[in-house]
Structure 1
Amino acid sequence: MPLTHSYRMLAHTGIRSAVLLALGLLLVAWPGPATAREEGHAREEGRARKVEGDRHEQEKPEKLAFDMVVAAGAQRCLPNAAGHVSIQAAGQNQRMQVKVEGLPPHRVFTLFVLQVPTGPFGLSWYQGDIETDEEGEGSRDFLGIFSSETFVIAQAVRPAPQTHPGVDALTNPDTAPVHMYHLGMWFSDPGDAVAAGCSNGTTPFDGDHVAGIQVLNTSNFPDTAGPLGQFE
């Protein structure tokens, strides 16, 4: 049956509408020049961030080494004393090895993590002991946090244990995070310092708070930029 004029017009209109609809959808889906540029910039920024992140990861030292120097009060009596420290990653922690030399033989020394390397001292943490051998040398490994994340914090003033009444503080100081990047080492016994020809001064840097003078420290680094902060 021949198509009527009205039917042909309706068919043409339907085809034209379908074509226009398809073109409209194509234009909506196709990004314009501005959108394409924005997406290009976003991709470039993403690549740049990845490169920067990779570079930062590569810059993190897998191992850090530095020296400790003779403390001012021990330079006359222990001029050859020296300390050598190495730090390396150990899982989520760090392993710190401290080697010392030029010290009196068969003596015990206390090692502290410090806020500042010389007196008057800020916050200090008793890390452990190092005992020398017959050659006046000693070595000890410590496992913990020895990096840019080493810090102390106290969110409130609270009662403190009285292990040594009359010596221990009754409460702690209230403090925001304080990072501690230095090391220091003391004679554990004031008598050992005297026997080595050093001053007989008494300091609290031992478990019983009766120690000798400081022997080694990291004063070869600035007060606010101690060596532990170099390890991330």
Structure 2
Amino acid sequence: MLNEHASSRARVMTGSALMLGLLAFAGAPAEAASTFSFPMVRANGLDAGCAPRAAAYVTIRSLGFAERMTVTVRGLPPGTALDLFTIQAADFPFGIGWYVGDLEVGRDGTVTKSFVGRFNVETFALGAGQRPVPAPTHAGDARGRNPAFAPIHTYHLGIWFNSPADAARAGGTCPANVTPFNGEHSAGVQVLSTRNFVAAGPLQRVD
């Protein structure tokens, strides 16, 4: 009985020590992490017949060295291809923009993707002097030299249809405009944005 009792006590002590170790390991980086969640809404200028049920929800979690941004889009036809950007302003003219990545709606009408990068109050672009731009690879690429500009923060998010055909599938009244918001610069119109943030944008709220 004594040996059994001692063995049981040893197992409890070992389990407690393991649990404390796991909590210490998990708690160290988590204490410094911050999380901010928010919705995106239908873009400005779309009429009632264009992507009427489109919506998105975003969660940004600090990793310390960068952020993980998880984006869920719903309410669009299966197979709809989309492009995500950080942008200076939520509505046209959008100012400075940066191509984050692609989203493709699944068979259930939703898509969730995570991106790791700088998605917080320090997110910015700058033109650090003028230099010859890379040889154009697509129609619409800049020629000559880039403009120089001081740091400009891109605190808003925008999601574009990857093509006018994707926009057409989301509703017969979606505009057929071609915009530069994909890798080939042949995207459709903006479908979702953070225009629900009237100030600088949601990324400004992430430390």
Coarse TM-score class (shorter-chain normalised) = 0.7 to 0.9
User: Quick one: percent identity of the two aligned structures?
Assistant: 45
**Equivalent residues of 1:61, 1:231 under 8 A apart:** no
Alignment of 1:181-196 (within 5 A): 181-196=155-170
Task: Map 1:156-195; keep pairs closer than 5 Å.
Answer: 156-164=129-137, 167-170=140-143, 171-195=145-169
Query: Matches of 1:80 and 1:165 in 2, distance apart?
Result: 33
Larger radius of gyration: 1
Q: Which residue matches 1:135? A: 108
The one of the two structures with greater contact order (alpha-carbon pairs below 8 A, sep at least 6) is 2
Query: 2: CA distance between counterparts of 1:71 and 1:191?
Result: 18
Tell me which residue corresponds to 2:40.
68
Contact 1:63 1:86 in 2 (8 A): yes
SS at match of 1:72: coil
1:64-143 mapped onto 2 (5 Å cutoff): 64-76=36-48, 77-143=50-116
Misfit runs of 4+, over 4 Å: none
**SS at structure 2 position matched to 1:193:** helix
How far apart, in 1, do the equivalents of 2:62 and 2:188 lie?
Answer: 32
Two-structure CA RMSD over aligned residues (Å): 1.5
Pick the structure with more helix per residue: 1
Q: Which sections of structure 1, spanning at least 5 residues, go unmatched?
A: 1-59
Cα deviation 1:186-214 (Å, max 9, x = unaligned): 01011121232211111110100000010
Which ranges of structure 2 fall in alignment gaps of 5 or more residues?
1-31
Local SS of the residue matching 2:52? coil
Q: How many residues align?
A: 172
The within-5 A match list for 1:211-226 is 211-222=187-198, 224-226=199-201
**Alpha-carbon deviations, 1:118-151, whole Å to 9, x = none?**
1011000000001101122111100011000000
